[in-house]
Amino acid sequence: MHKRVLGKSGLEVSALGLGCMGLSYGYGPATGKQAAITLIRTAFERGVTFFDTAEAYAQGANETLLGEALEPFRDQVVIATKFGFEGGDVQKGLNSRPENIRAVTDAALKRLRSDHIDLLYQHRVDPGVSIEDVAGTVKDLIQQGKVRHFGLSEAGAESIRRAHAVQPVAALQSEYSLWWREPENAILPLLEELGIGFVPFSPLGKGFLTGAINETTRFDESDFRNVVPRFSEENRKSNRELVDVLAQIASQRKATPAQIALAWLLARKPWIAPIPGTTKLHRLEENIGGASIELSADDLREIEAALSKITVRGDRYPAHLQARVGK
């Protein structure tokens, strides 16, 4: 797989990473340990060198899983993790106090079976702690050798600028896909200006852009898509129009809708590295196939023209989660 460098940081990653959250958290029951390890190691064998986790994904269990899976080739991969929730529990609210950042980093190093974290993100901007204090704390951890690079997740433009002035931000991780394009307004131009890489999560619209989800799909009761307005039955029915258009374009390229969605993201900027997540080996192979598709200028114009006629319906988060992004 091709490699990419995240902005001016010098941090080189595979063009597609693997978002590991869904193996432990968020999308229903956790994947069995051995099956999850097999999936992670298969991703590495297929050229993926960029793996994303967080303390908040099952309160450290996802980090523990990743640590065991990647231990045999730790020096050949880039591991990104995140701090920022009280006790690693999203329900308990935000905590980016310096002492918590340091404690979470030390705990993550043990779980990841590593002496360093390649990319440490603040999971969400904490209005109770100045972004300068957050950046300064991570700067100290970098100087101590525990962390290599600093990142932010779902941060707004002002926070990115202020943090970057204290400790260069290597990457911003935020949602971006064919059905959530809001970062194009202010965030992408800012990242280009400052030389910051972009790591889109949910590049397949939380699974919707694969075409496997329709208005009759029933999610597990622990699947957070049950509370996402965009995934209401009515909105799923309306939003199928987007997937249908994507499927038409994909068929012309002898590809799948998911592959075109990923190829579209990769074509946006050379410093973008999406992190699709999956629990299934066949989906992993499908996603990796998307990294080898190069869309022409004509392809991109066709996609743009088709999507300009479609309105995606429903908010991407319920109100209480939306309040935590873009700060």
Q: In CATH, which superfamily holds the domain spanning 3-322?
A: NADP-dependent oxidoreductase domain (3.20.20.100)
Which is nearest to 265 in space by CA: 210, 202, 314, 312?
Answer: 202
pLDDT of residue 80: 98
Q: Residue 317 pLDDT more than 90? A: no
Per-residue pLDDT tens for 41-77? 999 999 999 999 999 999 999 999 999 999 999 999 9
Label residue 323 by pLDDT band (50, 70, 90).
confident
Residue 101 to residue 138: CA distance in whole angstroms = 8
* Overall average pLDDT of the 212-240 stretch: 92
Helix, strand, or coil (residue 119):
strand
Beta bridge partner(s), residue 142: none
Residue 203 to residue 290: CA distance in whole angstroms = 12
Residue 274 to residue 280: CA distance in whole angstroms = 18
60, 47 contact by CB (below 8 A):
no
Q: Residue 324 pLDDT more than 90? A: no
Q: How many Cα atoms sit within 13 Å of 6 on the Cβ side?
A: 29
Q: Residue 319 pLDDT more than 90? A: no
Could you give the percent of the chain with pLDDT greater than 90?
Answer: 90
What pTM was computed for the model?
0.96
Helix, strand, or coil (residue 199):
strand
Label residue 320 by pLDDT band (50, 70, 90).
confident
Torsional sign, CA 280, 283, 289, 293: negative
Q: What's the full length of the chain, in residues?
A: 327
Return the H-helix or E-strand segment holding 209: none
* Overall average pLDDT of the 299-324 stretch: 89
Per-residue pLDDT tens for 140-180? 999 999 999 999 999 999 999 999 999 999 999 999 999 99
Helix, strand, or coil (residue 198):
strand
Catalytic choice (27, 57, 121, 176): 57
109, 118 contact by CB (below 8 A):
no
Mean pLDDT, the chain, whole residue set: 96
**Alpha helices (H) along the chain:** 33-45, 61-70, 98-111, 131-143, 157-166, 187-194, 233-252, 257-268, 281-290, 297-307, 319-322
What are the structural domain ranges in the chain?
A: 3-322
**Catalytic residue check, 57:** yes
Place of tokens 């935020």: 174
**Between 306 and 122, residue with greater pLDDT:** 122
pLDDT of residue 190: 98
Q: Residue 318 pLDDT more than 90? A: no
140, 167 contact by CB (below 8 A):
no
Per-residue pLDDT tens for 77-121? 999 999 999 999 999 999 999 999 999 999 999 999 999 999 999
